[in-house]
Amino acid sequence: MKLFVYHTPELTPTDQTPECAIAVDVLRATSTMATVLASGGEAVQVFSDLDQLLEVSEKWPAKHRLRAGERGGAKVAGFDLGNSPLDCTPELVQGRRLFISTTNGTRALKRVQDAPIVLTAALINRAAVVQFLLDQQPESVWIVGSGWEGSFSLEDTVCAGAIAHSILQHTQLSPAALAGNDEVISAIALYSQWQNNLLGLLHQASHGQRLLRLECHEDLKYCSQTDILDVLPIQQEPGVLKSQS
């Protein structure tokens, strides 16, 4: 297995596709997706465009759908939810499909949706993702951070590092043997430095600070936890993720 880390969707090569692509948006899209599926949501369907989301979800029975829209960290007017994982309780999401569009996270997923295997990862479901990689041994794996409007995000790269670090712990591989690019080594270094204070790192992150200004402190706390959900969001058809059982 060769692992590649890309800090943003824009940095991924346009002339190649990996066997397995993993989209990461710790704050907060992929944390929300993992939470919805762990809470019994039927599926998560992602859209870059809000109008398209409304059009497609309109064809779905109202009692079986939830519409989540986020722009600039805030809930889009008229949608059921914004992008807080804490709103996705089993009572609310059980048996329903979440139609979601967020500023960066859904864009990252769209960028890699043609890969044969597409997963989403966050710190909260890191162990499930690592277990899948260890079991399936895909030849090439891209971890793609969502970043923020084209630039690097600490929280996505630390999650990439958490995944790589855990793979190294479970295998005999050396960092150099696992790494397909230098970003993997730097992501491992970032995680190694902050692994005991991930909440502290999210407080340093520019998007973490944006969310704190929006009074989302509890979201940061929740998203900074590792391995609390045993759920693997895996793409079933382009843009539709379900939990692999």
Q: Which of 105, 161, 208, 233 binds ligand 3SL (CB under 6 A)?
A: 105
> 37 and 30 in contact (C-beta within 8 Å)?
no
Distance CA 76, CA 109 (A): 20
Q: What is the DSSP string of 91-155?
A: HHHTT-EEEEE-SSHHHHHHHHTTSSEEEEE-GGGHHHHHHHHHHH--SEEEEEE--BTTB--HH
- Closest to ligand 3SL by CB, 73 or 138: 73
User: Kind of pairing, strands 74-75 and 65-71?
Assistant: antiparallel
Q: Encoding tokens for residue 118? A: 């597409």
Task: Report the distance separating Cα 210 and Cα 28, nearest Å.
Answer: 12
Candidates 69, 73, 85, 233: give the one binding ligand 3SL (CB under 6 A). Answer: 73
Measured from the CB of residue 27, what is the shortest distance to ligand 3SL in angstroms? Answer: 4
For residues 205-244, which are near ligand 3SL according to CB under 6 A?
A: 211
- DSSP letter at 228 equals -
Nearer to ligand 3SL (CB atom), residue 5 or residue 29: 29
Among the listed residues 5, 22, 27, 229, the single contact to ligand 3SL using CB under 6 A: 27
Residue number, 57 or 165, with CB nearest to ligand 3SL = 57
The DSSP code for 186 is H
Using the rule CB under 6 A, which residue among 102, 157, 224, 243 binds ligand 3SL?
Answer: 102
Q: Does 104 bind ligand 3SL (CB under 6 A)?
A: yes
**Residue in 22, 24, 29, 158 binding ligand 3SL, rule: CB under 6 A:** 29
Gyration radius of the chain's alpha carbons: 17
* Residue nearer to ligand 3SL on the CB measure, 44 or 179: 44
Residues 148-207 that bind ligand 3SL (CB under 6 A): none
Rounded CA-CA distance 210/14 in Å is 31
For the bound state, the minimum distance from the C-beta of residue 14 to ligand 3SL, rounded and expressed in Å, comes to: 21
Binding-site member from 8, 35, 125, 146 for ligand 3SL (CB under 6 A): 146
Per CB under 6 A, residues contacting ligand 3SL are: 25, 27-29, 70, 73, 83, 102-105, 146, 211
